[in-house]
């Protein structure tokens, strides 16, 4: 059993990777300029010609693409191949409710599925495994992506799709699935059911690949313990291909980005300036191989950090941290980037409800941040010192997550407004003083 | 003999205590004693009521954070030094008093102390032996 699906490329030297990227980028820019009038107009507007792009060092000369561009160009405006050469679409409504339709040629599907196969091998799978895919199938990329990856690997693939937990468990037991692919929240639910129904000794799972939604290290430990598996993260987005843009290896510390297919950049979300590796900012992808829907410098709105630290798994491709928030939600407090999702993670892992309110204020030219959390029966005590100690633990945890102090204000239950969908979590009082 | 006090979380904002008192009256919960421990943003309201279990249920249902807490109720006679006697007796046995507050029964015209200590059964035993009259939950109910 090999440790890699495509060893040569996954363990290529930095020089080799850069050479591949240079060659592919030059070709890709030419392909896009010639076939996508929408992007050509953007390049013309910036005064950039395809021949100006000679290597990845010239990447920053190219204009960005955003979700707004995708909406404006919907449905065919960013298509770079005739429909006769396209074989599939995938689609997502995205977190902001805007529909994205991405097109694939057979070549595009092959490279996407190869990326997923790399992820499966990194999670310890090979052709002898039984891969239970319970991501949704259809327009959503989760099911088709991992399904395709499992086929490429030659594993027995169980195309379960999502839901119908009784059937999931029955197949898991009867067919002795070894690898589980689904969202982390569904994995947590399945783990609960497995233990409630006393099936733990009857299952043979060894690994899980969980993506498409945010999850915490605590969730990872819980799922790993409950199912007796190793749980791996996977990242992707429909705009760029689907799951498998990056994936975790045995190190479980960051996800290797498939750099032979995608160039990742981190930019300052406000200025668009490219930031050095190791700095936190918005993740931007350029797809090097996609034929039908080749996005150049697509702003994902995901905030994360890249690491080029050598990985013990032997893979040489850059690693990205789990995204820590959306650029649109970012707050800058005392010069530090703060994301509501970071605060939410800390609250949940400290036993508080995920319902909270962040209040940012400025007094005497100093920013302050306060987190209002609802008191619960579990966190309450008759002893003030006990409550203060719990409060302090939360303040300390917030400080270690955010890098700055946030005050905690405990409020009565049901006083923070709940709203369906995207809740209003932030009140920035600093804006009130601006003219 | 022990008693249950209700500890209630209340935000430190104008009108919160008044609202709480109104709710007690609305739900016909008779309050015999009240004490407040305050912090910057919130307070713990400690109350003695006739039926702590029923009151806990009702208050929680209407959205309050409530915790029943075992306490000791002791009769304090008019004699000077009665309270001192209680505190000294506990101190001799290494029982710490976390907090204490007093209330007066209208009907019996007697003063009572509520004690929250590090060892509730120990407190009951020690005080009982030293001749202090302890009260139970039933005895605070006025028969009106
Ligand atoms: Zn690795």
Name the residue in chain B with its Cα closest to that of A408: B41
How far is ligand 1, taken at its centre, from the CA of residue A406, in Å? 34
The CA-CA-CA angle for residues B103, B108, B110, to 5°, reads 40
B7 vs A: CB within 8 A: yes
Average pLDDT over residues B56-60: 94
How far is ligand 1, taken at its centre, from the CA of residue A335, in Å? 32
- Displacement of CA A377 from its chain's centroid (Å): 34
- Binary contact (A409, B41; C-beta < 8 A): yes
How far is ligand 1, taken at its centre, from the CA of residue A312, in Å? 6
Quickly state the pLDDT bin for B142 (edges 50, 70, 90).
low
- Binary contact (A384, B39; C-beta < 8 A): yes
Q: Cβ(A20)–Cβ(A14) under 8 Å?
A: no
Q: Cβ(B44)–Cβ(A359) under 8 Å?
A: no
Please tell me whether residue A302 adopts helix, strand or coil conformation: strand
A321 vs B: CB within 8 A: no
Name the residue in chain B with its Cα closest to that of A411: B11
Measured CA to CA, the distance from residue A360 to residue A370 in angstroms comes to: 6
A382 vs B: CB within 8 A: yes
Q: Please list every residue in chain B whose beta carbon sits closer than 8 Å to the beta carbon of residue A410.
A: 9, 11, 41-42
Q: Cβ(B100)–Cβ(B113) under 8 Å?
A: yes
CB neighbour burial string for A60-85, b if at least 16 within 10 angstroms, e if fewer: eebbebebebbeebeeeebbbbeeee
> Quick one: which H or E segment has residue A23?
helix A14-35
How many beta-carbon contacts under 8 Å exist across A and B?
A: 49
Task: Say if residue B74's pLDDT is above 70.
Answer: yes
Could you give the number of structural domains in chain A? 2
Name the residue in chain A with its Cα closest to that of B46: A382
Q: What domains can be seen in chain B, in order of their start residue?
A: 3-70 (3.30.2130.10), 71-141 (3.30.2130.10)
Whether residues A189 and A304 fall in one domain: yes
Q: Cβ(A245)–Cβ(A237) under 8 Å?
A: yes
Q: Please list every residue in chain B whose beta carbon sits closer than 8 Å to the beta carbon of residue A377.
A: 60, 65-67
In the predicted model, residues of chain A with pLDDT beneath 70 are 1, 93-98, 418-423, 431-435
Measured CA to CA, the distance from residue B68 to residue A293 in angstroms comes to: 63
> Can you give the pLDDT at residue B138?
79
- Binary contact (B60, A383; C-beta < 8 A): no
- Binary contact (B44, A382; C-beta < 8 A): yes
Q: Cβ(B114)–Cβ(B72) under 8 Å?
A: yes
Q: Cβ(A152)–Cβ(A145) under 8 Å?
A: no
Whether residues A313 and A356 fall in one domain: no
List the CATH number of the domain containing A26. Answer: 3.40.50.12780
Please tell me whether residue A403 adopts helix, strand or coil conformation: coil
* CB atoms near residue A16 (< 10 Å): 14
Whether residues A236 and A340 fall in one domain: no
List the CATH number of the domain containing A400. Answer: 3.30.300.30
Name the residue in chain B with its Cα closest to that of A409: B41
- Binary contact (B66, A377; C-beta < 8 A): yes
> Can you give the pLDDT at residue A129?
98
> Can you give the pLDDT at residue B36?
94
Whether residues A272 and A421 fall in one domain: no
Whether residues A362 and A221 fall in one domain: no
Measured CA to CA, the distance from residue A296 to residue A294 in angstroms comes to: 6
A378 vs B: CB within 8 A: no
Choose the final residue of a domain: A268, A297, A325.
Answer: A325
Determine whether A198 is exposed, middle or buried from the number of CB atoms within 10 Å of its CB (0-12, 13-18, 19+).
Answer: exposed
Task: Say if residue B1's pLDDT is above 70.
Answer: no
Name the residue in chain A with its Cα closest to that of B99: A383
Q: Cβ(A102)–Cβ(A138) under 8 Å?
A: no
Q: Which residue has the higher pLDDT, A203 or B30?
A: A203
Q: In this structure, what token pair is assigned to residue A271?
A: 């200025």
Nearest to A303 by CA among A338, A254, A260, A273: A338
- Binary contact (B41, A376; C-beta < 8 A): no
- Binary contact (B60, A377; C-beta < 8 A): yes
Whether residues A155 and A271 fall in one domain: yes
CA dihedral B79, B83, B89, B93 (to 10 degrees): 170
Whether residues A163 and A299 fall in one domain: yes
Q: Please list every residue in chain B whose beta carbon sits closer than 8 Å to the beta carbon of residue A381.
A: 7, 67
Task: Give the distance from residue B69's alpha carbon to the nearest chain A alpha carbon, in angstroms.
Answer: 7
Tracing tokens 């920053």 back to the chain, one arrives at A60
What is chain B's mean pLDDT, rounded?
A: 89
The CA-CA-CA angle for residues A132, A137, A141, to 5°, reads 100
- Binary contact (A377, B98; C-beta < 8 A): no
Quickly state the pLDDT bin for B25 (edges 50, 70, 90).
very high
How far is ligand 1, taken at its centre, from the CA of residue B104, in Å? 72
Q: What residue numbers bound the domain in which A96 lies?
A: 1-325
- Binary contact (B46, A382; C-beta < 8 A): yes
Choose the final residue of a domain: A285, A300, A325.
Answer: A325
Whether residues A201 and A136 fall in one domain: yes
> Can you give the pLDDT at residue A309?
95
> Can you give the pLDDT at residue A82?
97
Whether residues A310 and A338 fall in one domain: no
> Can you give the pLDDT at residue A420?
44
Task: Give the distance from residue A342's alpha carbon to the nearest chain B alpha carbon, in angstroms.
Answer: 24
Task: Give the distance from residue A391's alpha carbon to the nearest chain B alpha carbon, in angstroms.
Answer: 12
Choose the final residue of a domain: A325, A348, A374.
Answer: A325
For the entire predicted model, the pTM comes to 0.70
B36 vs A: CB within 8 A: no
Whether residues A24 and A81 fall in one domain: yes
Whether residues A209 and A112 fall in one domain: yes
Please tell me whether residue A132 adopts helix, strand or coil conformation: strand
Task: Say if residue B14's pLDDT is above 70.
Answer: yes
Q: Please list every residue in chain B whose beta carbon sits closer than 8 Å to the beta carbon of residue A415.
A: 11
Whether residues A389 and A254 fall in one domain: no
- Binary contact (B67, A414; C-beta < 8 A): no
Q: Calculate helix-pair angle for A165-174, A184-196, nearest 10 degrees.
A: 70
How far is ligand 1, taken at its centre, from the CA of residue A317, in Å? 8
């Amino acid at each position: 059993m090999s440790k890699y699906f495509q060893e040569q490329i996954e363990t290529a030297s930095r020089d080799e990777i850069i050479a591949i990227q240079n060659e592919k980028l030059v070709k890709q820019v030419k392909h896009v300029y010639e076939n996508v009038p929408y992007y050509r107009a953007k390049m013309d507007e910036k005064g950039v010609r395809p021949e100006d792009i000679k290597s990845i060092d010239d990447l920053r000369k190219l204009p960005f693409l955003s979700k707004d561009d995708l909406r404006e160009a919907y449905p065919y405006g960013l298509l770079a191949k005739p429909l006769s050469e396209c074989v599939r679409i995938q689609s997502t409504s995205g977190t902001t409710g805007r529909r994205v339709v991405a097109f694939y040629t057979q070549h595009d599907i092959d490279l996407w599925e190869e990326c997923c196969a790399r992820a499966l091998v990194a999670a310890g799978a090979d052709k002898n495994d039984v891969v239970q895919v319970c991501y949704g199938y259809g327009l959503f990329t989760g099911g088709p992506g991992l399904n395709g990856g499992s086929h490429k690997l030659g594993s027995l693939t169980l195309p379960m799709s999502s839901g119908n937990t009784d059937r999931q468990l029955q197949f898991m037991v009867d067919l002795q699935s070894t690898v589980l692919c689904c969202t982390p929240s569904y994995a947590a639910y399945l783990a609960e059911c497995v233990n409630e129904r006393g099936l733990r000794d009857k299952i043979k799972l060894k690994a899980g690949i969980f993506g498409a939604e945010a999850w915490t290290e605590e969730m990872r430990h819980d799922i790993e313990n409950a199912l007796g598996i190793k749980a791996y993260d996977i990242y992707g987005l429909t705009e760029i291909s689907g799951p498998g843009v990056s994936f975790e290896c045995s190190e479980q510390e960051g996800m290797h980005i498939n750099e032979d297919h995608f160039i990742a950049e981190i930019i300052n979300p406000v200025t668009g300036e490219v930031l050095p590796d190791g700095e936190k900012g918005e993740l931007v992808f350029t797809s090097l191989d996609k034929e039908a829907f080749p996005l150049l410098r697509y702003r994902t709105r995901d905030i994360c950090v890249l690491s080029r630290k050598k990985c013990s798994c032997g893979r040489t491709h850059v690693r990205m941290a789990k995204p820590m928030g959306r650029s649109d939600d970012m707050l800058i407090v005392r010069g530090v980037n703060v994301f509501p999702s970071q605060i939410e993670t800390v609250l949940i892992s400290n036993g508080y409800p995920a319902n909270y309110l962040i209040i940012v204020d400025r007094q005497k030219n100093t920013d302050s941040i306060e987190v209002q959390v609802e008191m619960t029966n579990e966190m309450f005590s008759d002893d003030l010192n006990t409550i203060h100690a719990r409060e302090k633990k939360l303040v300390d945890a917030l400080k270690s997550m955010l890098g700055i102090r946030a005050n905690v204000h405990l409020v009565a239950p049901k006083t923070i407004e709940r709203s369906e969908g995207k809740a209003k979590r932030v009140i920035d009082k600093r804006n009130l003083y601006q003219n | 003999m022990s008693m249950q006090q209700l500890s209630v979380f209340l935000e430190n904002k104008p009108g919160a205590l008044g609202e709480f008192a109104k709710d007690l009256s609305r739900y016909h919960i008779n309050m015999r004693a009240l004490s407040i421990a305050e912090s910057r943003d919130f307070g713990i309201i400690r109350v003695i009521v006739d039926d702590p279990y029923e009151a806990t249920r009702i208050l929680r249902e209407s959205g309050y954070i409530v915790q029943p807490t075992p306490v000791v109720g002791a009769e304090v006679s008019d004699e000077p030094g009665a309270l001192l006697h209680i505190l000294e007796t506990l101190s001799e046995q290494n029982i710490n008093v976390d907090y204490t507050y007093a209330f007066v029964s209208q009907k019996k015209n007697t003063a009572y102390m509520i004690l929250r200590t590090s060892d509730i059964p120990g407190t009951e035993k020690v005080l009982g032996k030293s001749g202090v009259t302890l009260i139970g939950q039933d005895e605070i109910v006025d028969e009106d």
